Structure 1
């Protein structure tokens, strides 16, 4: 199997010339397309921090942002894979509602043990994804049409299952997964003017920072072995230090409130797993190949139909998981659950750097895009903005993100 060389870093300098000659002057360059989303996120956070008088970054509010947007972030992970492959899924909001309805019927009406009902709901989500994936991959119907039909079909299924009424309450374990927090297993320690925080949560943050540093160092070393461009060492260290500062700030704020939300632990596991899938696994590379150049992927031996089929199965499973989280948070399966969730998930993927034509996107970018939407919602709520103002700003941000993607592509094409 041929090894795939790592991609260029966001910040790069001109490489050292081959042949052992003197080192060329190093010129720092910024990949605007890949790094712009993170600068935009930082700018939005700073803006709303100022407008809210610091309330945006209060411990309880940071926890609220994570918990309240968890299901959208889960959907965004699946949606980014669908969009990378060159497709779209308009049905995820209805699948969220249907999954919550099925879970409620099993747990509440029929008394199934919650782990069994949870697994059964995920299987149902996978079957729904397989149904849609079959029509797209093997029958050749455009995903837009299939999932638009699915949006109507599964909303009708939800209304039928629930009888146009809510079902609840859910078992304590499901509510804890959606709204609960980890215990202070190692005790509370003092942080001076910041107050106290759970030691275990802080250790989790330290481990996360260490893992990021090691991973990035190994990636940088790999690029050097492939004689690719890499950032200067001071720049690399500054990036890691900045990431560590952000992570530890968020962890400390969460630890000061009620420790780490369990849904954040679930999200972290999903982000790590899907990042490894897209960056390291053969299937992940095949997704990019299918979205980047379908004909070339076919000629290269990629089983295109199988890849498309399985990304829709995966989307169905993640939508079912998001449905369980959302129903657990409300403590009720509701006929109107998941309304417009598909729009938020699609917006998160595109704001996070996905290309309209497919073949481009990152899981971390989709999570960042989802957090941007969440910060906008939360920040404008804190300043008392009207609903129409929130919708206007979100729409403008989405349009700006896609326009920025198109502009960078044209600029890159003109440079060639």
Structure 2
């Protein structure tokens, strides 16, 4: 009888395949959870939760937290935290409204100003963390108080409104139906192109390839949800502009985190700072840029929020930092650093927004919403810790 012994290479390959399957299951668990939430709230609201109008409002409402979650993913992956983003959203939104209403700046100028102000304040915080070794928790906790105080001082405690029609269109306009479907097809085509390209590159480099069923099965699942979402949104007024902004920013930061040296450095720094330093990575400079990008994204979020509310208030952005952190953790980002994905954070933001929206539609009292979101956050962190053990 001719028996072939099992080699170490075979064992390693089996382990890698098992790991790949485990990671895929972790990613799809979020999608399954989101589908279950939609089914449950759809049932208890008589289908109103899944109506095109409510889905459009839901996507618009989640856009601010989604933008913050994109930047927060890199912050947490790098091994830090940012508690100031809610106050920074309020401050950049306030600066936008002051320049637009009081000083008659045009829409383009105030949007650029908000992003620049956010980036500068992010750089200020990053300098303290990276070059003065002050823990990010303390720096951003101080920033949360400082930025809120600056907003109150600049606005004199007033609500600043109204905004011009061109500025309101940032968050209250919709993409035309035909262009929405075209954008969906282009997105699916890009997914297929990148999958084929990545498989070809991995094959040329002799790396382990996932089965075609896994790779192209992912494209099938993603394509189904993209087309379904486009169809449902087009039944109302079309795709909300804020969601297009979120998708564009997500695509940019997914590319940065996966395809650039900076992205790889961030994951290395969060995974093992000592090893990253010994390998020649400039930890201070990269940490600074992580905080700059977070500040710039907070500026974008401030513009979206101010446009949606058609006003800037001293309470704008309150507690948004906790929603952004919760979205990242629910999406699989580890608070220990070195692990996390932008797509997961976006799904986490959608889960949080869906819970808020669904419970509000069921007329459940507000305190229950806080309790449920808090419990979900604790369970998500526990799952992360348990999986590491």
Q: What is the TM-score when the length of structure 1 is the normalising length? A: 0.86
Q: Give structure 2 stretches of 5+ with no counterpart.
A: 1-8
Matches within 5 A, 1:157-172: 157-172=150-165
Give RMSD over aligned pairs. Answer: 1.8
- The 2-side partners of 1:330 and 1:273 are apart by 27
Name the structure 1 match of 2:352.
Answer: 373
Corresponding position: 1:297 with 2:279: no
Greater shift in the superposed pair: 140-149 or 382-391: 382-391
- The 2-side partners of 1:30 and 1:46 are apart by 25
Name the structure 1 match of 2:317.
Answer: 338
Q: Is the 8 A contact 2:114 2:302 kept in 1?
A: no
Equivalent position SS for 1:274: helix
Equivalent position SS for 1:199: helix
- The 2-side partners of 1:325 and 1:76 are apart by 14
Matches within 5 A, 1:130-141: 130-141=123-134
1:341-395 residue CA offsets vs partner (Å, 9 max, x unmatched): 0000010111111111100001111111101101111111121211111111111
Query: 1:44 Cα shift?
Result: 2.0
- The 1-side partners of 2:114 and 2:151 are apart by 13
Greater shift in the superposed pair: 289-298 or 42-51: 42-51
Cα pair distance change 1:366/1:29, threshold 3 Å: closer
Cα pair distance change 1:217/1:42, threshold 3 Å: farther
- Count of matched residue positions in the alignment of Structure 1 and Structure 2: 374
Name the structure 1 match of 2:333.
Answer: 354
Q: Is the 8 A contact 2:70 2:250 kept in 1?
A: yes
Cα pair distance change 1:130/1:382, threshold 3 Å: same
Corresponding position: 1:282 with 2:255: no
Q: Give structure 1 stretches of 5+ with no counterpart.
A: 1-16, 185-197, 411-416
Name the structure 1 match of 2:119.
Answer: 126
Q: Is the 8 A contact 2:332 2:340 kept in 1?
A: yes
Name the structure 2 match of 1:312.
Answer: 291
Higher helix proportion: 2
- The 2-side partners of 1:167 and 1:243 are apart by 41
- The 2-side partners of 1:49 and 1:215 are apart by 35
Name the structure 1 match of 2:168.
Answer: 175
Cα pair distance change 1:173/1:212, threshold 3 Å: same
Matches within 5 A, 1:2-151: 29-31=21-23, 32-151=25-144
Name the structure 2 match of 1:214.
Answer: 193
Cα pair distance change 1:42/1:217, threshold 3 Å: farther
Name the structure 2 match of 1:413.
Answer: none
- The 2-side partners of 1:216 and 1:152 are apart by 45
Corresponding position: 1:232 with 2:219: no
- The 1-side partners of 2:292 and 2:344 are apart by 22
Equivalent position SS for 1:358: coil
Query: 1:228 Cα shift?
Result: 4.3
- The 2-side partners of 1:285 and 1:247 are apart by 28
